[in-house]
Amino acid sequence: MVRQIAPKTQLGLIKSNVNQGGETIAPDIVYPESDGKPMADNTKQFTWIVKIKENLEVLFKSNPDVFVAGDLFWYPVKGSNRIKLAPDTMVVFGRPKGQRGSYRQWEEDNIPPQVVFEILSPSNSKGEMTRKKLFYLKHGVEEYYVYDPDEISLEVSIRENNSFKEIEDFAIWTSPRLNIRFDMTGDELVIYYPDGSRFLSPVELSNYAEQERLLKEQERFLKEQAHQRAEQERLLKEQANQRAEQERLLKEQERFLKEQEQLKYQTLLAELKAKGIDITTLE
């Protein structure tokens, strides 16, 4: 018996299904999560990819409906595993955070990434970047940024109807979607948060996270100290109240003893007087 093997596409993208009766049924389409290629060609490109992606994660950390990813395959068309790209960084508004092996648009309310970043490396050809740009335009990207860290150049493309409008001759540009500011006035690109603080490098982010941890630890320590002081003050007040109560009881006891002595004295006077002895005349 000759076993039939399902036809293969790129990277074994079709997986044959056989039912219990041995009959071949419609194959499942496999959407690979990796192409085996590195995310970056050099350290400079990698640093910028991580810098943009991680700072965008920080920017939207409090918004559960903004998904940020780096080097993640985006499949815009169901049933086609050849139509895909892995943007260096992409931002999707309207989709929840969470782990994904790939971004399958039909499983995401058919919402495409609205903002895409690409960081150029020497291996990126002009033709390759043109194809990427056409892909992003065709599949719904609203803002497309291409940064060349070697040439210190930033290409900004904004969707207008069914085409990209190139933003030219700018020194400073603010993203309509992200509300972050790109500053090209210095020796390299500087990106600023909406509050004016700048995007940090991976090392700076790590240091910042450590500072945040230390500050939280210090806040916790100060809160504990404040709690201990409050507890000490409560104990001191309680002790003061106890002393006051003891003093009150002692005074009450002294008053009671005096009353008892006075009562005994009056009783004695009465007894003596009953016997005809009036000592008050002796006083």
Q: What is the pLDDT of residue 64?
A: 98
Q: How confident is the model at residue 3 (pLDDT cuts 50, 70, 90)?
A: very low
Q: What is the pLDDT of residue 11?
A: 42
- Strand 24-29 and strand 74-75: the pairing is unpaired
Amino acid at 45: Q
Mean pLDDT, range 124-143, rounded to an integer: 97
183 shares a domain with 84: yes
Q: What is the pLDDT of residue 4?
A: 37
Dihedrals phi, psi of 66, to nearest 5 degrees: -130, 120
Look at residues 199, 232, 261 and tell me which one is the last residue of a structural domain.
199
- Asked if pLDDT for residue 9 goes beyond 50, the answer is no
269 vs 281: CA distance, rounded Å: 12
When comparing pLDDT for 79 and 270, which is higher? 79
Q: How confident is the model at residue 20 (pLDDT cuts 50, 70, 90)?
A: low
187 shares a domain with 232: no
Q: How confident is the model at residue 269 (pLDDT cuts 50, 70, 90)?
A: confident
209 lies in a domain? yes
Write the pLDDT tens digit of every residue in 26-74.
568 999 988 777 767 788 999 999 999 999 999 999 999 999 999 999 9
Domain count, the chain: 2
- Asked if pLDDT for residue 17 goes beyond 60, the answer is no
273 shares a domain with 181: no
Q: What is the pLDDT of residue 202?
A: 82
- Asked if pLDDT for residue 180 goes beyond 70, the answer is yes
Q: What is the pLDDT of residue 190?
A: 97
Q: Lowest mean pLDDT of 12-16, 42-46, 94-98, 273-277, name the range.
A: 12-16
213 shares a domain with 173: no
162 lies in a domain? yes
- Asked if pLDDT for residue 81 goes beyond 60, the answer is yes
Mean pLDDT, range 84-98, rounded to an integer: 97
Q: What is the pLDDT of residue 25?
A: 53
Write the pLDDT tens digit of every residue in 185-218.
999 999 999 999 999 988 888 887 676 775 676 7
153 vs 169: CA distance, rounded Å: 11
156 vs 166: CA distance, rounded Å: 6
232 shares a domain with 106: no
85 strand-pairing partners = 74
When comparing pLDDT for 130 and 258, which is higher? 130
Look at residues 149, 183, 199 and tell me which one is the last residue of a structural domain.
199
Query: CA of 266: how far to CAs of 119, 256, 262, 274, 276, in Å?
Result: 108, 15, 6, 12, 15
172 shares a domain with 248: no
Q: Which two tokens stand for residue 2?
A: 């000759």
Q: What is the pLDDT of residue 270?
A: 81
13 lies in a domain? no
Q: What is the pLDDT of residue 227?
A: 83
Mean pLDDT, range 108-133, rounded to an integer: 96
244 shares a domain with 183: no
Q: How confident is the model at residue 279 (pLDDT cuts 50, 70, 90)?
A: confident
82 shares a domain with 205: no
237 shares a domain with 189: no
CATH code, 49: 3.90.1570.10
Query: CA of 221: how far to CAs of 38, 91, 217, in Å?
Result: 44, 38, 6
126 shares a domain with 116: yes
105 near 112, Cβ under 8 Å?
yes
Mean pLDDT, range 269-279, rounded to an integer: 78
End-to-end Cα distance, the chain: 141
Q: Is the dihedral of CA 228, 230, 231, 237 positive or negative?
A: positive
71 shares a domain with 147: yes
- What is the number of other CB atoms lying within 10 angstroms of the CB of residue 199? 22
H/E run at residue 26:
strand 24-29
59 shares a domain with 177: yes
Look at residues 183, 199, 215 and tell me which one is the last residue of a structural domain.
199
216 vs 222: CA distance, rounded Å: 10
69 strand-pairing partners = 90
Which residue range forms the structural domain that includes residue 180?
27-199
Mean pLDDT, range 160-176, rounded to an integer: 96
156 near 145, Cβ under 8 Å?
yes
CA atoms in the 13 A half-sphere facing the CB of 107: 10
CA atoms in the 13 A half-sphere facing the CB of 190: 11
Q: Mean pLDDT score of the chain, rounded to an integer? A: 87
Query: Among residues of the chain, what percentage have pLDDT more than 70?
Result: 86
